């Protein structure tokens, strides 16, 4: 595949992380997830991690400047990528425009009811990062990863008291990007309520088109 520059948009829980990993495996594009990078910074107790944690624990967005400074270099040195969780505000989208153009923004849609159901049953492997859902894509054991046997855990920001706020933040700060990319002729939409494999197939068709 030519070195495409793609980004995934959509509410938390729509499947951006799951799809980005699958697309990266299939295409060799570099998967850049601001959420994963931030969680790594938090786990290592870095300055960025300490600054971000407060916002993340509340389900709020981390300030634009911190995010843009953090991701800028990684994007600039990669010629084909799939962005997952960035940009998330109009200011971030404008900053991205100055770094590199996008070929496609894929909006994975999901209703509020589905978002809340999915996030509260999401579990992640501490070792390899594989994402499970106890309702829709359950692991064989509730506590261990099928692939590597790593411990499965619930992200702090997937706790029910935080999930509502994350959806509101998405609607207020991130949903305006739908118009932003539509106006630039870059937006495609995929129904995120479909099974993972169907969503992936649709995205692969869009990338091939
Ligand atoms: P995610 O894994 O993409 O759901 O991100 C988890 C959390 O990290 C979000 O709820 C935000 O607090 C923070 N975060 C990730 N990406 C961004 C971004 N592009 N802008 C601001 N905050 C972000």
What's the pLDDT tens digit per position in 36-52? 999 999 999 999 999 99
Tell me: the pLDDT tens digits for 136-160? 889 999 899 999 999 999 998 998 8
Beta bridge partners of 31: 82
Q: How confident is the model at residue 2 (pLDDT cuts 50, 70, 90)?
A: low
Residues in the chain: 209
Count: domains in the chain:
1
Q: Are 109 and 190 in contact (CB under 8 A)?
A: yes
| Ligand 1 centroid from CA 67, angstroms | 9
Task: Answer whether residue 108 shows pLDDT above 70.
Answer: yes
**Domain containing 157 — which CATH number?**
3.40.50.300
pLDDT averaged over every residue in the chain: 94
Its domain, for residue 193, covers: 5-208
SS3 45: coil
- What is the arrangement of strands in the sheet containing 152-153, beginning at the earlier edge strand? 131-133, 122-125, 152-153
Q: According to the model, what pLDDT value does residue 1 have?
A: 55
Give the mutation target among 62, 65, 168 for probing the ligand 1 site: most ligand atoms within 8 A of CB.
Answer: 62
Task: Answer whether residue 125 shows pLDDT above 90.
Answer: yes
Q: Are 192 and 17 in contact (CB under 8 A)?
A: no
86 lines ligand 1 (CB under 6 A): yes
| Ligand 1 centroid from CA 35, angstroms | 5
35 lines ligand 1 (CB under 6 A): yes
Task: Answer whether residue 15 shows pLDDT above 80.
Answer: yes
- Give the pairing of strands 104-109 and 187-191: parallel
The predicted model gives 171-188 an average pLDDT of 98
CA 85 to ligand 1: nearest atom? 3
């Amino acid at each position: 595949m030519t070195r495409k520059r793609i980004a995934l948009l959509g509410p938390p829980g729509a499947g951006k992380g799951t799809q980005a990993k699958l697309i990266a495996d299939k295409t060799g594009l570099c998967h850049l997830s601001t959420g994963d990078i931030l969680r790594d910074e938090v786990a290592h107790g870095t300055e960025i991690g300490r600054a971000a944690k407060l916002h993340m624990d509340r389900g709020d967005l981390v300030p634009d400047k911190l995010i843009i400074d953090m991701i800028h270099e990684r994007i600039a040195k990669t010629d084909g990528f799939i962005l997952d969780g960035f940009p998330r505000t109009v200011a971030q989208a404008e900053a991205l425009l100055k770094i590199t153009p996008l070929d496609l923004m894929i909006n994975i849609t999901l209703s509020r009811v589905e978002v809340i159901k999915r996030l509260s049953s999401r579990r992640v492997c501490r070792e390899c990062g594989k994402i499970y859902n106890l309702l829709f894509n359950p692991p064989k054991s509730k506590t261990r990863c099928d692939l590597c046997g790593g411990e499965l855990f619930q992200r702090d920001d997937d706790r029910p008291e935080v999930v509502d706020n994350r959806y509101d933040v998405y609607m207020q700060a991130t949903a305006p990007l739908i118009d932003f990319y539509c106006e630039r002729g870059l937006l495609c939409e995929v129904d995120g309520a479909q099974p993972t494999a169907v969503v992936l197939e649709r995205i692969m068709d869009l990338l091939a088109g």
